[in-house]
Structure 1
Amino acid sequence: MADTRDATSRRLRRLGEMQKTKAVEGASRALRDVWEAGRKPAEIVLRFVLIQRPDGERAPLTRLVLPRGIALRFYLLALFEAQCRLDVNEPWANARPLTGVGSWSDFVAIDGAYHSASGTYMPDTKQERTGPDLRVRQVKSALDTLEKLGLERALAVVPRARNGGRRLYEQFSLMKEGGRGGHQTPDTYTVPAPHWSARTITVPANFFLMGWVQVLNPSEIATWLTLRALSQWAREQHAETGVYLYGKARKEDFGLRRDAWEDGCNMLRGFGLLRHARASALDADPKKGLSASIDLVDYLAREMRERYEPYRWQVIDQRLNEDAMKICTKELTLRKKQLDLAAQQRAQGKNSSTA
């Protein structure tokens, strides 16, 4: 419980700093400029191989659920940028610098360097650090991670200068969702067409434009994308009784650990992006806040679920139209208060038992 409280406090601190510097607002504005100047896609199409590989190997999505860095976020942002700019089946070519207005680093929101001893951001150092410098560093680190997935699995390729030394990050190439491939010619990214089968899934553009891609953590994004895939595979079942994953399928087919899955579902429900399955329309207004945990339907979903049966979920998109920063800050603040109260009650109970 202490770890959960600490993690919630850290996340709130980071969101607070990004609110102060308007980092998410600035990144979302840069993305909207790209969207409005381009093809204005209502949805971004992802090849399903990003989420589950047909050969049974671990999918790229779960390889990018990492405690540090922005690799998963950056890859999704690159796909968004490509689909704003390119036609279906048109090959990707880098058209942006790493720095400056409208650059790759302009698409990323971060909180900056934090000094835990003093409890301050961006402390003075011998080597000057600025927000733009740190964003570029994060982008380069993300490209390193995407390339180091393996020769055939790499989601990005960064060339080197002719002398084999300096890495030319500004000339990176984006690969398809399944990776570079095993051929001599890399499988460079092309925009996929949406397909009625399970070969693609779609993500509303507002996931990017309203800041959700910036504020959700990697395990929440992975959980959300997996549930979106399930909901689009089985649309009637999703609408009527919800979708679910048994532990074996979750672990072996999708590579998601139990704690990441359960925490992801819980937080996504609190943010209003999921709900326990119910009969009401999917476009109904989502419940406001983590107080949804005391909603009667949610209570019945927990009480009536058979032991060892997985929860059934429905993905709802209305909340994607709202400001992600405001919603997440509000919900995490409430969550922290609940955790603090529970810790206080436990401490009081322990003291009374030893009196």
Structure 2
Amino acid sequence: MNRRDLDRQEARAGALLQHAAAYEAARDKLVEIYEAGDRIRSQYAIRSALVHARRAGAAGSPPSSPAGALAPLKGWAMPLYLIAIFDAQSRRPAGATVDHARPLFRVGNGQAGWADLLPAITQTAPERAGMRRQAVHALNLLEREHLAVIAGRGGVAGRYDRVQFLDETGDGTRHRWLRRYSIPRSDSVGDVVHLPKAFFLNGWVHVLTVAEITTYLMILDLQARYPESGRDGVFKVAAQRVDRYGVRRDVYATHRQLAGYGLIRRLDDPARSPDGRIIKRSSPRYTRQPYRFRTFDSGFDRPALTIVSAHLRSQRSG
């Protein structure tokens, strides 16, 4: 890893630790949702469409998935969308269509608002204004990617208190009310991947980057599609990764961090170094083999902020 990347990792670790209290407060609110919910689940179903390439980009650019489109961007759009799914599935049964009734902020003694479910890491003063900016930016991105509908026109007071989340397809060609988010049924095998409850309750949804989440969901989907590959691991060559998932090289590179956090195991080609460079060729016709991966749900059983910040800082000393 070059010096610039090491400095970036060090800065990220420092920001996590600086705002540890804010991350913990947001995590506590997710625990409240889980404990107050009518549906106690060990896993939460995410439609694979979230990471499946849905369309060609403008002017012949490569295909894009909803997650892949959000992966390079800063902000809380992807975490907020997954939190909305967690919230819905904690309250409603499989098959139910969900009207998301949360306001932007908690009102009185009512339920937490969307902004309250994100870490308050803004430098804007007063803090509430910064929290609003974070949440509004996330919701606007989700609407742009056809994953949410915001009520009313721009500038209308209270419009962010009436947000309807849409299904994971991000299909902007279908009428939005036909795409209101519904909870996948138990017979949706092959069409969904599952995130364990610890992904939310131990703060991983807040601490992982959007690119890391996207790469993890892609690997989960590959495992669901190719269950027979459990021992040898799953993989996608570069062209298939872009065509099928809309995942570019810089997003895919986050598999190194996921392995460092203990969330996946990377089964390396012995002819390659950890950073991907070829260190020996078994023959003049040697073909570089793709990385293979297996996920570990148990990796989420540890506190995200502690694990991630420690690993990021270890990169420099390592």
- Counterpart of 1:309 in structure 2 is 289
Q: Is the 1:197–1:233 Cα contact (8 Å) retained in structure 2?
A: no
From 240, 245, 248, give the equivalent of 2:239.
Answer: 248
Change (3 A) 1:302 1:140: farther
| SS of the residue 1:213 aligns to | helix
User: What CA deviation, in whole Å up to 9, does each residue of 1:117-163 have, x standing for no partner?
Assistant: xxxxx6xxxxx321x332222111111111122xxxx11111116x9
Report the equivalent of 2:50. 50
What does residue 119 of structure 2 align with? 109
Aligned counterpart, 1:175: 166
Indicate the RMSD between aligned Cα atoms, in angstroms: 2.7
Structure 1 184/52 Cα, relative in aligned 2: closer, same or farther at 3 Å? closer
Paired AA for residue 36 in structure 1? E
Does the 8 Å contact 2:149/2:165 carry over to 1?
yes
Alignment of 1:1-355 (within 5 A): 1-19=2-20, 22-38=21-37, 39-53=39-53, 57-100=63-106, 102-113=112-123, 128-130=125-127, 132-149=128-145, 154-160=146-152, 165-166=156-157, 168-179=159-170, 181-183=173-175, 185-195=177-187, 197-238=189-230, 240-262=231-253, 264-277=254-267, 307-338=287-318
What's the CA shift for 1:210? 0.4
Distance (Å, rounded) in 2 between the aligned partners of 1:129 and 1:66: 28
Compared CA separation, residues 77 and 159, structure 1 to 2 (3 A): same
Is the Cα–Cα contact under 8 Å of residues 194 and 202 in structure 1 kept in the other structure? no
Checking the alignment, whether the CA contact within 8 Å between 1:42 and 1:205 is kept in structure 2 is yes
Shift of 1:308: 2.0
Q: Do the aligned residues in 1 keep the contact of 2:95 with 2:182 (CA within 8 Å)?
A: yes
Any unmatched runs of 5+ in structure 1?
Answer: 114-121, 123-127, 279-292, 339-355
CA offsets 1:296-321 (integer angstroms, 9 cap, x no match): xx99x997996421011111111201
SS of 2:194's equivalent in the other structure is: strand
CA–CA distance in structure 2, aligned partners of residues 310 and 234 of structure 1:
16
Q: In structure 1, how many angstroms separate the alpha carbons of the residues matched to 2:306 and 2:4?
A: 24
Instruction: Provide TM-score, normalisation by structure 2.
Output: 0.85
Identify if the C-alpha distance between structure 1 residues 107 and 312 changes in structure 2 by more than 3 Å, giving closer, same or farther. Answer: same
Does the Cα contact within 8 Å between 1:47 and 1:200 map onto a contact in 2? Answer: yes
For residue 333 of structure 1, report the CA deviation from its aligned partner. 1.1
Structure 2 counterpart of 1:329, one-letter code: S
| Aligned mates of 1:206, 1:51 — CA distance in 2 | 21
SS at match of 1:44: strand
**2:54 and 2:65 in contact (8 A); partners too:** no
CA distances 1:42-88 after superposition (whole Å, capped 9, x unpaired) = 11101111111466752111111133111111111111111101111
Higher relative contact order (CA 8 A, sep 6+): 2
Distance 1:232 1:12 in 2: 32
Deviates more, 1:3-12 or 1:77-86: 3-12
Unpaired stretches in structure 2, ≥5 consecutive residues:
57-62
Q: Is the CA contact (8 Å cut-off) linking 1:227 and 1:243 kept in structure 2?
A: yes
- Report the Cα offset of residue 164 of structure 1: 7.5
Identity of matched residues, %: 28
Q: Secondary structure at the match of 2:71?
A: coil
Q: Secondary structure at the match of 1:276?
A: strand
